[in-house]
């Protein structure tokens, strides 16, 4: 099937004299996960991971994937003729190198300019210049061969009330307008859906698992224009926008609008996320200020109302997860539970919670060796049955009316080896050490990462991803600019100073290909500790309260203060969650949260 699609694409390329065609994983906004309309790369390659870039020439095709997906891509590309390229591994060419190598002199590189960010497009343009090659970015070739392509989403856009988010859109936009004036920006073009959702307090269902709305927004000191499908607006939201003076224009109208702007001197955009087509339409006399939107930092620092709501959402989500673990432990020996049916059970338990909206990302439900792929998702064809032995890893979360969650637990289903306990305990120690960190204001995630990762490094091991990412509030689940990561990764802006209210995941892991994977993840939020002569000390508040499987803990490997943290944590899990459980469940929770 993939071969036929590649053939059809190559026919179109041939007709247009396009030598190399690039299919990235993106919508028009560089959203991390994309709705079904935008799954062109998946359609063309069969690879279902959340990231990856496909490059097709007349006789070759290659897919670049990062460390999370090395194993999954290997499996899914089988028989497709597409070669897997492991990003950042020695000897593997970059996409740019690959394209430059293959494009003929005076050749043409094609892509849909709406789904490639301006920085990447400019870099490619520069790179193929040596070969006198040019870029064709006006046509969406995959769209032309994709017969049963899903339509753009049409779900309702609704208002996240001030009781839920703590600040009116009018107040946020006013703050932004002041910022623009103070920084000599005559206009900002916002193209990222999470920033627009935060700024307008609008939520929707346009992206799978992210309650945001497909839209662009233009803000000037005087104007605020939202480019989106007006039919989606709920009555409440339409009224609010009218009251706030937010003008609505058609979604695709952004391109023509930008092309018509010629009376300003400066425009603030982020070329890492702005799509190339919009960028190309900016009048060449306008000075481009290429920077992060200030909304990114404002959004990341959750206010007291958001935090109070988030705490509620987490309790509900943790109840569902705790019930799930109880159910799994008591039923796995009976047989018949698969990775998919387990995930469905967990979804059902979440749905029973008040105000549940959606999963906050596709559940990672992975038994033993399947969990060695950090972002494994079972499929109907390839789905393991859970047995009463070893580890089962579940990384999942939900959006509720009051907030969003992201948790991972590795659950003992039966006998585990000493080595598995050694690894589980190491992960847990790292997670605890970061959770209980005390640090002076001014630290960022680069400073703190080794508290967690150092336990793993001491064993000569590593996990090839950040220790944690910022978590959005009824938005994208991965959020910048905060995170825990020891060194900068190109394109990821997660080294911000840790500010009060920033919610970040804390998720160390270990992966052993062919054997098992372990990850333990809580969400933590930055809070002030005390201030003294040395400055403002900071600490983390834990938001997630789900039991950590004591059956895989080797207490002898832990320090006294780590044991104390765990015991206090488990006591809190019990006190917060047990009131919402059945008698049997509560009795079980008492046992599994007892002191070690």
Where does this chain bind a second copy (CB under 8 A)? 437-440, 442-443, 446-451, 454, 457-458, 460-462, 464, 486-487, 529-530, 532, 534-535, 537, 559
Query: CB-wise, 491 or 535, nearer to a second copy?
Result: 535
Query: CB-wise, 439 or 516, nearer to a second copy?
Result: 439
CA dist., res. 481 & res. 360, Å (int):
19
* DSSP E strands, 31-123: 53-57, 61-65, 83-86, 108-110
Describe the strand order of the beta sheet including 439-440 as a list of residue ranges: 439-440, 535-542, 522-532, 503-506, 468-470, 479-484
Q: What is the DSSP letter of 116?
A: S
Signed CA dihedral, 436, 437, 438, 444: sign only: negative
**Minimal distance in Å, beta carbon 533 to a second copy?**
9
3-state secondary structure of 328: helix
**Minimal distance in Å, beta carbon 96 to a second copy?**
22
Phi (first) and psi of residue 364, to 5 degrees: -95, 110
**Minimal distance in Å, beta carbon 447 to a second copy?**
5
**Minimal distance in Å, beta carbon 438 to a second copy?**
5
Place of tokens 């400055």: 535
Query: CB-wise, 70 or 111, nearer to a second copy?
Result: 70
Q: What is the DSSP letter of 477?
A: S
Neighbours of 47 (CB within 10 A): 24
Query: CB-wise, 250 or 457, nearer to a second copy?
Result: 457
**Minimal distance in Å, beta carbon 524 to a second copy?**
16
3-state secondary structure of 238: helix
Measured torsion, CA atoms of residues 343, 345, 346, 347, in degrees rounded to the nearest 10: 90
Q: In the chain, helix, strand, coil percent, each to 5?
A: 40, 20, 40
Query: CB-wise, 312 or 567, nearer to a second copy?
Result: 567
Tell me which residue of 286, 287, 290 sits closest to 263, measured CA to CA: 286
Packing angle of the helix pair 418-435, 560-577 (nearest 10 deg): 80
Cα 302 to chain centroid distance, Å, stands at: 18
Q: How many CA atoms lie within 13 A of 405 on its CB side?
A: 35
Measured torsion, CA atoms of residues 106, 110, 115, 116, in degrees rounded to the nearest 10: -20
CA dist., res. 348 & res. 47, Å (int):
27
Peptide bond just before 481 cis, omega within 30 deg: yes
Peptide bond just before 426 cis, omega within 30 deg: no
Query: CB-wise, 17 or 89, nearer to a second copy?
Result: 89
**Minimal distance in Å, beta carbon 261 to a second copy?**
35
CA dist., res. 129 & res. 124, Å (int):
8
**Minimal distance in Å, beta carbon 433 to a second copy?**
9
Cβ neighbourhood burial of 387 (10 Å; 0-12, 13-18, 19+): middle
Question: What are the structure tokens assigned to 474, written together?
Answer: 């009824």
Query: CB-wise, 238 or 557, nearer to a second copy?
Result: 557
Tell me which residue of 304, 11, 65, 287 sits closest to 166, measured CA to CA: 304
Q: What is the DSSP letter of 152?
A: P
CA dist., res. 258 & res. 73, Å (int):
39
**Minimal distance in Å, beta carbon 561 to a second copy?**
9
Query: CB-wise, 314 or 423, nearer to a second copy?
Result: 423
Query: CB-wise, 304 or 559, nearer to a second copy?
Result: 559
**Minimal distance in Å, beta carbon 532 to a second copy?**
6
3-state secondary structure of 130: helix
Query: CB-wise, 235 or 442, nearer to a second copy?
Result: 442
Question: What are the structure tokens assigned to 313, written together?
Answer: 């959402």
3-state secondary structure of 197: helix
**Minimal distance in Å, beta carbon 130 to a second copy?**
19
Query: CB-wise, 71 or 176, nearer to a second copy?
Result: 71
**Minimal distance in Å, beta carbon 518 to a second copy?**
16
**Minimal distance in Å, beta carbon 477 to a second copy?**
26
Query: CB-wise, 263 or 532, nearer to a second copy?
Result: 532
Neighbours of 500 (CB within 10 A): 16
Query: CB-wise, 248 or 437, nearer to a second copy?
Result: 437
Tell me which residue of 543, 535, 410 sits closest to 473, measured CA to CA: 543
**Minimal distance in Å, beta carbon 562 to a second copy?**
10
Query: CB-wise, 472 or 508, nearer to a second copy?
Result: 508
**Minimal distance in Å, beta carbon 444 to a second copy?**
8
């Amino acid at each position: 099937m993939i071969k036929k699609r590649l053939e059809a694409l190559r026919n179109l390329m041939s007709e247009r004299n396009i030598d190399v065609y690039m299919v990235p994983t993106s919508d028009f906004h560089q959203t991390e996960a994309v709705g079904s309309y935008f799954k062109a790369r998946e359609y063309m390659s069969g690879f279902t991971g959340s990231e990856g870039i496909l490059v097709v020439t007349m006789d070759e095709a290659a897919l670049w994937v990062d460390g999370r997906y090395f194993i999954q891509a290997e499996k899914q590309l089988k028989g497709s003729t597409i070669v897997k390229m492991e990003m950042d591994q020695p000897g593997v060419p970059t996409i740019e190198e690959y394209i430059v190598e293959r494009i003929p002199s005076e050749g043409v590189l094609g892509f849909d300019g709406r789904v490639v960010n301006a920085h990447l497009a400019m870099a490619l343009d520069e790179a193929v210049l040596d070969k006198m090659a040019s870029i064709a970015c006006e046509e969406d070739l995959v769209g032309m061969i994709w017969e049963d392509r899903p339509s753009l989403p049409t779900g309702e856009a609704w208002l996240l009330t001030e009781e839920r988010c703590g600040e009116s859109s009018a107040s946020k936009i006013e703050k932004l307008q002041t910022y623009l004036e103070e920084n000599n920006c005559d206009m900002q073009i916002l193209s990222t859906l999470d920033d627009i959702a935060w700024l307008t307090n609008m939520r929707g269902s346009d992206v799978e698992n992210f309650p945001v709305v497909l839209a662009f927004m233009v803000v000037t000191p005087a104007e605020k224009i939202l480019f989106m499908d007006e039919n989606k607006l709920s009555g409440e939201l339409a009224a609010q926008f009218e009251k706030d003076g937010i003008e609505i224009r058609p979604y695709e109208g952004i391109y023509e609008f930008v092309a018509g702007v010629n009376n300003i001197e400066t425009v603030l955009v982020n070329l890492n996320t702005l799509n190339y087509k919009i960028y190309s339409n900016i009048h060449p006399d306008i000075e481009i200020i290429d920077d992060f939107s200030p909304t990114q930092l404002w959004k990341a620092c959750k206010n007291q109302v958001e935090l109070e709501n988030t705490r509620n959402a987490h309790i509900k989500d943790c109840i569902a997860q705790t019930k799930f673990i109880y159910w799994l432990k008591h039923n796995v020996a009976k047989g018949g539970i698969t990775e998919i049916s387990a995930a469905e059970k967990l979804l059902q338990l979440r749905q029973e919670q008040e105000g549940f909206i959606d999963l906050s990302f596709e559940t990672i439900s992975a038994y033993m060796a399947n969990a060695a792929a950090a972002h494994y998702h079972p499929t109907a064809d390839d789905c393991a049955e859970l047995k009463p032995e070893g580890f089962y890893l579940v990384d999942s979360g939900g959006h509720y009316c009051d907030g969003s969650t992201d948790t991972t637990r590795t659950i003992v289903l039966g006998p585990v080896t000493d080595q598995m306990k050694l690894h589980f305990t190491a992960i847990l120690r790292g997670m605890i050490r970061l959770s209980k960190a005390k640090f002076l204001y001014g630290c960022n995630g680069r400073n703190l990462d080794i508290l967690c990762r150092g336990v793993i490094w001491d064993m000569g091991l590593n996990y090839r991803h950040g220790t944690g990412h910022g978590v959005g509030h009824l938005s994208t689940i991965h959020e910048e600019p905060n995170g825990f990561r020891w060194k900068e990764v190109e394109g990821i802006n997660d080294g911000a100073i840790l500010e009060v209210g920033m919610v970040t995941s804390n998720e160390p892991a270990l992966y052993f290909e062919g054997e098992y994977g372990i990850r333990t993840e809580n969400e933590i939020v930055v809070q002030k500790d005390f201030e003294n002569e040395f400055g403002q000390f900071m600490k983390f508040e834990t938001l997630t309260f789900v039991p950590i499987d004591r059956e895989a803990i080797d207490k002898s490997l832990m320090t006294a203060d780590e044991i104390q943290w765990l015991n206090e944590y488990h006591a809190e899990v019990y006190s917060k969650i047990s009131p919402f459980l059945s008698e049997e469940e509560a009795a079980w929770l008492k046992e599994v949260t007892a002191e070690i």
